[in-house]
Amino acid sequence: MTLTASLIKELFKGFTVQRWNDKIRTVELIEIDKHAHKMFIAFILGKYEELGGREVNWNDIIKGGIFELLRRIVISDIKSPIFYKIRLDYPDTFKKLNEWVFAQIKGKINNKQIEDEFSSFLMDENYLAPFSSKILDAAHIYASNWEFQKIIKHANPDGYQINSIERDLLAAIDSHLDLIGMQKLIARRPISDFIDLCGQLRFQIRWSQTPRLPKTSVLGHSMFVAIMSYFFARDNNACSQRLYNDFFGGLFHDLPEAVTRDIISPVKMSSVEFMELIQHIEVDLADKEIMPLLESEWRSEIRYFTRDEFANKIIHDDKPDKISSVSLLNQNYNDDKFNPIDGHLIKAADRLAAFIEAWTSVGLGIRTEELVSACQSITERFGNEHFGNIDMSNIYSEFNVD
């Protein structure tokens, strides 16, 4: 299996890496939250380009997003301006830096092919197609500018370098205005409200009534789930469309919480009737508040990701059809023409993320009864599940729960 305890722990460090930490911030800005927002934006930019008739390499987009997050986690002490200066002006030093990054990750990815892909991403500037890199760069800049305009600029109105930072960000945005989606975002078309809505998920803290370290947002959690879902799909030798669906299905799985807030599981699952009511409300609010912000051509796909989000599905006769197991998807529907999505794997990644959130906090000394109980119950109930080639016991057995 690709995912190891050491890789999961490395990815989870993304929740502890602070952004803009030399500036006054009214809220904490966290690295994995930014990368989640970036991937929502990359999705939108890619979709607009497809509407305009261009082909988008989604495999590039996904791998570029995951690998860049890993790199940023490892080099978290290097500020972005310094990183880019080294990259542009000191290529030999930048190569050595990337070699060091790879050395920190090597052995944590239990998949030689993916490890080699990560190495190529770091060592070869042309590993990603130029158009894929452009979309990812544009999404990165817009997400950074979003943080700056919404939070940093207001908290530091006369701060050191604030004016020059703004000039640099706006110049970077200008260089990407040949992308249709960037034009729409800068013009404040309805899609910009959708990106704002996605960004607000960083302010919704999970386990909000439980003391916990580190605090994790719904936005960062969505990225964590998306990455693990993608690696699970790779282990099941998923077709291209299935890889795309599992990553973006994981990223979008909590999108309705942007309008309902994060209702903790014990409350949500207090009764079947209440859970069904919440699901009905989520669908209704999503249709009223989220879907009108999206282009009509994308709405069915977003519904595919967010309704019955934990069900295995294919498209049959132009309608979603549920499949009982991941093994059946592997055997009969692992083909792009079926548009398969592993809802069970996304749910497994969602549970694993909740476990890691609780387990890490317990390990840091925040040992509440609720957190310890969550670790034990998740392990006991789900620690031996199988999903095709995925044996969850290989992961849970690496985490001790006392």
Q: Is 380 exposed, middle or buried (0-12, 13-18, 19+ CB in 10 A)?
A: exposed
Q: Point out the residues of the chain with pLDDT beneath 70.
A: 260-272, 402
CA distance 395 to 383: 8
Contacts of 316 (CB under 8 A, 6+ apart): 338
Note the pLDDT of residue 263.
54
CA distance 210 to 266: 12
CA distance 162 to 56: 35
Note the pLDDT of residue 98.
96
Note the pLDDT of residue 274.
73
Contacts of 110 (CB under 8 A, 6+ apart): 1, 2, 3, 4, 7
Note the pLDDT of residue 279.
74
Domains belonging to the chain, first-starting first, are 21-203 (1.10.3210.10), 218-396 (1.10.3210.10)
Note the pLDDT of residue 271.
60
Considering only CA atoms, which of 110, 162, 138 is closest in space to residue 1?
A: 110
